[in-house]
Amino acid sequence: MYLKNKDNTHFVPAVVDDVRVHDFIANLKSTVKNFPITDFESVNDIINSLRSQFAGLFQNLLQREMTLTESKTLYDLNTVSDKMHGMIDSMSSTNKEVLAMLSSTLFVTHEITQKLMDTLSISDFRVLIHNKIGMIRFIESLGFTGDDDPFSDEYQRTLQTSKQYLKISQDIFDEHGNLIRYPDSETINSAFEFRVVKTQESIGQIDINDDDLPFNYLTRYQY
């Protein structure tokens, strides 16, 4: 109504006693964008509107505080998780080192090593062999020699009245050349083939007995 009659010099406002109030409202509506302008009929309407606005601001503040708390909690959880991963990696590395030390120091004769000792009738010694290289070194110390063929697994030694042949099965080693940890009975029984060929020809070598073995009561052969 005011905008239609503001140029009328005879216009008299019915509610306010000064037309500048209408000028202020008109100017406010024309300059302020995207903000609601609410008409109030009483003081209670103003109070209720302010309460609603303050409630919205307070809710927004609580949501921001909650978001910050959740972010901090997530950061703390990530930090704790990283520390736990570091501890687990450290413990795993320590366990591997301990197991490696125990593996190299336990004085327990392997079942396959015991089978070799029984095959060669050696019972007064404890020998620790962990891999193929250690086993070859051990039988070479007993006088056995291998063939020139690199693919041959048979070794022999010559005594005064016989020749002895020892064949080692490759099934007793893993892909790294180490003795398998838990061999079954079939693998143990077929680990070695031992045969003796009698001969009357003397070649001047001394028969090897237990007293001539070049190691003490406890000997380890490993790579």
Mean pLDDT by 10 residues, the chain (223 residues): 64 70 76 72 86 87 82 82 86 78 60 89 79 91 82 85 91 91 91 88 51 47 45
Check residue 6 and give its pLDDT.
67
**Nearest 5°: CA angle at 199, between 194 and 202?**
120
Residue-level pLDDT at 174? 92
Query: Do residues 193 and 166 make contact, with C-beta atoms less than 8 angstroms apart?
Result: yes
Task: Report d(CA 109, CA 111) in Å as an integer.
Answer: 6
- Bridge partners (DSSP) of residue 146 are 155
CA distance 5 to 8: 5
Question: pLDDT at position 201, please?
Answer: 58
pLDDT of residue 167: 93
Is the separation of the CB atoms in 207 and 159 below 8 Å?
yes
Reported as type and span, the H/E element at residue 97 is helix 43-105
pLDDT of 215: 47
Kind and range of the H or E run holding 197: strand 192-198
Overall pTM > 0.95: no
